[in-house]
Amino acid sequence: MIQAIAPFLLIFPIVGALINGFFGRRIQNTGGPNKGELVSGWIGTLMSFAAFGVAIALFLALRNDYGPHIVTLFDWFNVGDFHVPWEMQIDRLSSVMLLVVTGVGSLIHIYAIGYMHGDKNFARFFTYLNLFMFFMLILVTGSSYLVLFVGWEGVGLASFLLIGFWFDKNRKIDGVYEGVLNSNASRKAFVANRFGDLFMILAMSLMFWTFGSMQFEEVFAAATHGFEAGDKSLPLILTLITLFLLLGATGKSAQIPFFVWLPDAMAGPTPVSALMHAATMVTSGIYLLVRSNVLLEIVRESGYELFGLVTTPELVAMTGAITALYAGLIAMTQFDIKKVLAYSTVSQLGFMIAAVGMGAYVAAMFHLVTHAFFKALLFMGAGSVIHGMEHGHHHLHDHGHGHDDHHDHGEADGHHVVAAAVHGHHDESSHDSAVVTHTAAAHDDHADHHVEDDFDPQDMRYMGNIKKYMPWTTTVYIIGALALSGIVPFAGFWSKDEILAHASFNFNGGDGGWIFRVVTWLLTAAAICTAFYMGRQLKMVFFGHERHEATYHASESNRHMVAPLVVLAVLSLLGGILNFPYFSEADATASLGHYAEPYESCGDGKIRECFSGGHGDSHGDDAHGDADTHAADDSHSDDAHAEDAAHGDDHSEAHDYGINLALEHWLEPALQSFELTEEHIVHLPHTAQSVQWRVAIQSTILAVLALCASFFFVYRGFNSESRKADDIDPLFTVPILSSFLTGMQRLPLDTLYMGVLRPIFNAFSWFCGIILDWDFYHDFVHEQLIRAPYLWFSGFVSKTLDRGLLDGGLVLGVGKLLRGFSGIYKNFQSGYVRNYALGLFLGVVGLVLYFILG
Amino acid sequence: MQFVEPTLNLSVILPIIILTFSTLLLMFVDFWVPDERKDITGWLSLFPLGGALTATFFQWDTIKGAFNSSVLQDNFSTYLSILYLITGMLSVLISIGYIRKRGHGRSEYYFLMLFSLVGMMLMGMANDLLIVFLALELLSIPLYIMSGFDRTDLNSEESALKYFLLGAFSSGFLVFGIALIYGAVGSTALPDIAEGIATSGTVGLAGIAMLLVGFMFKVGTVPFHMWTPDVYQGAPTSVTAFMSVGAKVAGFAALMRVLISSMGSMDEKWIPALAVIAAATMIVGNIAALTQTNIKRLLAYSSIAHAGYILMAVTASTKSDDGVGAALFYMMTYMFTNLGAFAAVMAMERFSGNKQLDLDDYKGMGKHNFAFAIVMMLLMFSLTGIPLTGGFVGKFYVFKTALEADLVWLVIIAALTSVVSAFYYMRVVFNMFMFDGEIDMPTVPNALKLVMAVAAIATLVLGVLPADWYTIAQNALMTTGG
């Protein structure tokens, strides 16, 4: 069955993209501008739901079956004995990703119908969304690094298209058109990702060069075999491969050093932020590393240290942990509601990467899933708030100014029609005409208009007391925030706690080494930051008093937007069930038989059989005796319940037996490291089976304290109605604290890149910091330290070396160089042919000398 | 002395005979075509090409020598002939309206193009250095004239003169090289050279170096590339398109034939030289392209860079079984993509005032003409080497073959420079989709649209389902004997 239905995973989204791509505009404008947008939107959404259906079917098929199933679509490359067939690999790891991508993705599709309502490029948006789903599904189902890379590039393209979706926005921000800023943001994402991709290519080349294959199964088998055989060069090669994979992942999953694009990516429409830049696309780096777990574990086992410092898994852990804390600190200082969430995403991805580096692959996937729930929820909640604020502002604007410039105004903001449609202040036809016939003149008029009113619907300083106006959004947002902060019993608590428990378990009881200790501290500090900035955001947005008149007119968003939020809120509440730990070691032991080891849970001492069944053909589980498979089967079926419940399909109560560690049982057969640990080839660090009470209580107390602290300190004294948005946060006026907070805003300056170089670059950086935003100090590094020398170098080569030295020959080199800069290149006279000839002749001399003497 | 009767296997050069004589016939027919309707000659010139193409298809999988084995027919030459003839057809199609609108609707253009194609086909078949030289001149001289075809435009004249002078200069080296090799080995036939070259000493080595110069000039590798940007920019765009594909592929054809079949034993000697040249070509071509603002000049530097990638596969061809196949496959993708890109440039070009050849002229294209912009984007993706386009697959095979030949450092440079190339190709895409601008696009002739469509479809097909096509390229092996 798997063979038959798996291709439909890819067919549905691409069909949706094609329909909307070719006929979308016609469908959207059937019977008048945007009259048919619901049809267009639901086509895209249903295709996504269809893919979700396929994913569920695959999930059910995998319940009693370990996979991996290879589904060959067609032959892609055929070179002698080297074949790259286009294959899908359906196993338990990809099935988890499939459920997240299609499940959360479908909900976001519904939300987008509401959010994009009235946008003149409505159909194009859904084309891109489905295109993204298509590539994301290629990414997670590919059976080789090469196919994965196709998806990897494809989602990058979709991301690029969607970040710059509003490239024609004509609002001016600081004298620059917002559309230009949007397209700059998309370009930045593209370029940053290309750097990451370079390393992916290097990793794949090296892999192919060494193992002669890029198929997951073949590479892992060859690596394991080589390691067992004691291949001396293998540790170095695998270290390089994993290092390149890590760097590839830092690009896509926005980690240090390539994270700079993600905050800018918030220029895209909010559903895009929720879908790609929080829940799915950015997690593909984590998926890549989890998929490569065998390679990482072999490197860990070999103990090969990069530059004699750290092994690559340790480097992975450190990268994740440092990013988690670093982004968490920056998130505390942001005022844009979406940028707080963006930095938060970077921080949470850091948690996952750190978990991968520590060998806690299941914990990483667990956090990936729960994070997809609550971060999608938070983003879409933020979108809902922004919508409300925009509406409030339009309302205010209309009444305040008394003349009807509403259309132009709203058009530039992208979704004025929502406000109007929901509240019926204007008749539809006038809006429609505004949508269709907007002109440059209207834009200019509008742009001028906006200069005098710098209201920003995303700025949290303009919000306050939204709870009074948007009760649904407020409720679900608080659930999401508590889940993210790691408060019992929300989903985020369980997944984050599993990572922290793993870290501390290994440095207290295990042989993890100093890295685990440092990672534990960093992640604990990052968790405190998380609670603080979420508390700060809740207080600034939903509580306190209104700080801007627009807030008084904010109103709840439409049904399309609220419904998915509620579903996600339920998931954020219950997601912890997915991998519920045991409450004590005794429970764990009792439930899992004689073994309390985390991975030896497949059956009673028959692990080998269980695993070999999984890795043989797909019917291999027939080999299990009833007694052996009893535990495994039960846990799997219960696992199914948990997943179903989590996805809102089946709210039946989960079993009280076997529910524990469901995700871990589910993923074990797909993560070969577990099997290799059984064979004592590698040693996967143990994950605690039961709740680590000390860690859990400690992190809960810290999170609650941080939440309370944020509520107590942030905007303290702002509860009087006389205070307005323009007033400075009193927190920033406390003598010592203010320098601390300001310092955090400037933090990037003092850490990382500039830590060593600061004395030298201080003067220079002060200058640039005035011009560029402090928070994005990295932009300086990337623009000035990398791009500028790069451009200078290319200019030097093309103008000086190529035109001057070669074209101009050595004789006229200097004169040519000067003229080359003046750009008069077309004033060539025949004399210069002589110089070409001279260059040619020098080439001849060089070649002849080489051949005769060399 | 014993006189051996030469074997005249005329079937070997049947496509060439068809092309030559039907072109001569066309010249007579042309007398009756009125001056203002010379387009008709253009359409008619598709018939000689079609006839030659049909004859070529029947030659697949047969190996024969002719004229005492100085001309050779094998799958290598047949594959290349097919490439040239397709190039010819697409070039004729893009030229028809273009040449007329430029005010030079004269039919000599088509005759020159067809004769140049004869030279190219002969390049792939030549099994004797003298035939190589003959073919090279036969292909070059019409190109010199065609570069200056736009007589009223000074740039075009300058371009022709530069091309001619430097071309003659480099041909001199080629002849000198042939003479030295003849002096060292006592023959100009490639099989004889293969036997004698290893023991030929300094004279033979100097001969190889000189010979390489002649080919390197034709394909435009560093440091023999300086003519390329000027000539490509000045020549009429249809000629540039034809030249950038046809002449380059022909140069590589002769280079591969000579190096592999007659100098394979010397590969320890020439691999380092070619590898350094390939690296320098990729670096200079890609980096110099970064600062270009004129799209023809940008594509000129881009074609230099692509010559570097092809040269990389040639470098690996004696160490890796797939070197020749990778180079041939790359040429196929390059042919379609580059012709398509130039066709797109021609669709935008105007002949007076602002010629619309700047990158800025493409701003806002995404809104103005979505289909055009999408095709252009696809072609730019392919030139960059982004997956699911032919360019990616071509690069993939080239990198793979170079890895097999242990040229790891060269692959690293190639990977880095192909990342660099994304910057300038993407600038075109960014300009089209991310900026607003006034587009003043001339009406695009249908023939041009057809070529763009063919290029786009071929690029996609080669990118998504390359397996069969690559198998064909792999089977296009060259034979060494007669």
| Residue A729 pLDDT grade (very low, low, confident, very high; cuts 50, 70, 90) | low
Q: Distance (Å) from the C-alpha of residue B393 to the closest C-alpha of chain A?
A: 9
What's the pLDDT score for residue A140?
93
Count of A-B CB contacts under 8 Å: 148
Of A78, A848, A850, the CB nearest to B210: A848
What's the pLDDT score for residue A46?
93
**3-state DSSP assignment of residue A391:** helix
- Name the residue with tokens 């900035």: A533
Q: Which residues in chain A have their CB less than 8 angstroms from residue B408's CB?
A: 209
Distances A552 to A396, A468, A469 between C-alpha atoms, Å: 9, 9, 8
How does pLDDT run across A113-155, given as a tens digit for each residue?
Answer: 988 888 888 888 999 999 999 999 999 999 989 899 999 999 9
Residue B351 has pLDDT above 80, yes or no: no
B294 backbone dihedrals φ, ψ, rounded to 5°: -95, 130
What's the pLDDT score for residue B216?
94
- Taking CA atoms, what residue in A is nearest to B281? A802
What's the pLDDT score for residue A685?
83
Q: Which residues in chain B have their CB less than 8 angstroms from residue A791's CB?
A: 290
Based on DSSP, count helices (H) and strands (E) in chain A, helices before strands. 37, 4
How does pLDDT run across B260-276, given as a tens digit for each residue?
Answer: 988 888 888 899 999 99
Residue A242 has pLDDT above 90, yes or no: yes
Distances A419 to A179, A398, A435, A550 between C-alpha atoms, Å: 21, 12, 14, 13
- Name the residue with tokens 């024609």: A168
CB proximity B465 to A under 8 Å = yes
What's the pLDDT score for residue A735?
56
CB proximity B212 to A under 8 Å = yes
| Residue A516 pLDDT grade (very low, low, confident, very high; cuts 50, 70, 90) | confident
| Residue A310 pLDDT grade (very low, low, confident, very high; cuts 50, 70, 90) | confident
Which of A815-824, B58-67, B282-291 has the least mean pLDDT? Answer: A815-824
Distance CA B9, CA A841 (A): 40
Going by their DSSP bridges, the two strands B64-66 and A172-173 should be labelled as unpaired
Which of A66-80, A569-583, B14-28 has the least mean pLDDT? Answer: A66-80
Please name the residues between 776 and 805 in chain A that touch chain B, using a CB distance below 8 Å. 791, 793-795, 797-799, 801-802
Residue B406 has pLDDT above 50, yes or no: yes
Task: Spell out a b/e string for A24-47, using b for 16 or more CB atoms within 10 Å of the CB, else e.
Answer: bbebbbeeebbebbbebbebbbeb
Q: Distance (Å) from the C-alpha of residue B290 to the closest C-alpha of chain A?
A: 7
CB proximity B329 to A under 8 Å = no
Mutation target to probe the A interface, by most A beta carbons within 10 A, among B197, B287, B324 is B287
| Residue A646 pLDDT grade (very low, low, confident, very high; cuts 50, 70, 90) | very low
Residue A761 has pLDDT above 80, yes or no: no
Distance CA A241, CA A312 (A): 10
- Taking CA atoms, what residue in B is nearest to A162? B434
Burial of A405 (0-12, 13-18, 19+ CB in 10 A): middle
What's the pLDDT score for residue B283?
86
The contacts found for B158-161 with CB under 8 angstroms, 24 or more apart, are B158/A828, B158/A830, B158/B230, B158/B234, B159/B230, B159/B231, B159/B232, B159/B233, B159/B234, B159/B235, B160/B234, B160/B235, B161/A830, B161/A833
ipTM of the complex: 0.86
Which of A522-526, A784-788, A847-851, B452-456 has the least mean pLDDT? Answer: A784-788
Residues A775, A333: contact at Cβ < 8 Å?
yes
Mean pLDDT of chain B: 89
| Residue A742 pLDDT grade (very low, low, confident, very high; cuts 50, 70, 90) | low
Mean pLDDT of chain A: 74
**3-state DSSP assignment of residue B65:** strand
Distance CA A182, CA A163 (A): 7
Amino acid at B260: I
Distance CA A575, CA A12 (A): 27
Amino acid at A768: C
Residues B94, B76: contact at Cβ < 8 Å?
no
| Residue A190 pLDDT grade (very low, low, confident, very high; cuts 50, 70, 90) | confident
CB proximity B396 to A under 8 Å = yes
Q: Average of pLDDT values for A686-693? A: 78
Q: Distance (Å) from the C-alpha of residue B412 to the closest C-alpha of chain A?
A: 8
Distances A480 to A337, A567, A705 between C-alpha atoms, Å: 14, 12, 18
CB proximity B269 to A under 8 Å = yes
Q: Average of pLDDT values for B44-68? A: 90
How does pLDDT run across A763-820, given as a tens digit for each residue?
Answer: 444 444 444 444 444 455 555 555 666 677 666 656 655 554 444 444 344 334 333 4
Distance CA A240, CA A312 (A): 8
A162 backbone dihedrals φ, ψ, rounded to 5°: -85, -30
Termini Cα distance of chain A: 64
What's the pLDDT score for residue A387?
87
Residue A635 has pLDDT above 90, yes or no: no
Residue A305 has pLDDT above 50, yes or no: yes
How does pLDDT run across B415-434, given as a tens digit for each residue?
Answer: 888 888 887 898 888 888 87
Residue A246 has pLDDT above 90, yes or no: yes
CB proximity B324 to A under 8 Å = no
CB proximity A837 to B under 8 Å = yes
What's the pLDDT score for residue A233?
86
pTM (predicted TM-score) = 0.58
Residue B376 has pLDDT above 90, yes or no: yes
What's the pLDDT score for residue A460?
83
Q: Which residues in chain A have their CB less than 8 angstroms from residue B322's CB?
A: 79-80
Residue A484 has pLDDT above 60, yes or no: yes
Q: Distance (Å) from the C-alpha of residue A852 to the closest C-alpha of chain B?
A: 6
Residues A375, A368: contact at Cβ < 8 Å?
no
A405 backbone dihedrals φ, ψ, rounded to 5°: -110, 20
How does pLDDT run across A412-424, given as a tens digit for each residue?
Answer: 343 433 333 333 3
Residue B7 has pLDDT above 50, yes or no: yes
What's the pLDDT score for residue A819?
39
Cis amide leading into A13 (omega within 30):
no
Task: Spell out a b/e string for B86-109, using b for 16 or more CB atoms within 10 Å of the CB, else e.
Answer: bbbbbbbbbbbbbbbebebbbbbb
Distance CA B140, CA B243 (A): 10
Rg of chain B over Cα atoms, rounded to whole angstroms, equals 21
Instruction: Enter the tokens of residue A373.
Output: 């729930």
What's the pLDDT score for residue A669?
84
| Residue B126 pLDDT grade (very low, low, confident, very high; cuts 50, 70, 90) | very high
Beta bridge partners of A660: A580
- Name the residue with tokens 């970040």: A163
Instruction: Enter the tokens of residue B35.
Output: 């001056």
Q: Which residues in chain B have their CB less than 8 angstroms from residue A802's CB?
A: 284, 288
CB proximity B397 to A under 8 Å = yes
Percent of chain B with pLDDT over 70: 97
Which of A75-84, A271-280, A499-508 has the least mean pLDDT? Answer: A75-84
Residue A374 has pLDDT above 90, yes or no: yes
How does pLDDT run across B72-111, given as a tens digit for each residue?
Answer: 899 999 999 999 999 999 999 999 888 888 777 688 999 9
**3-state DSSP assignment of residue A256:** coil
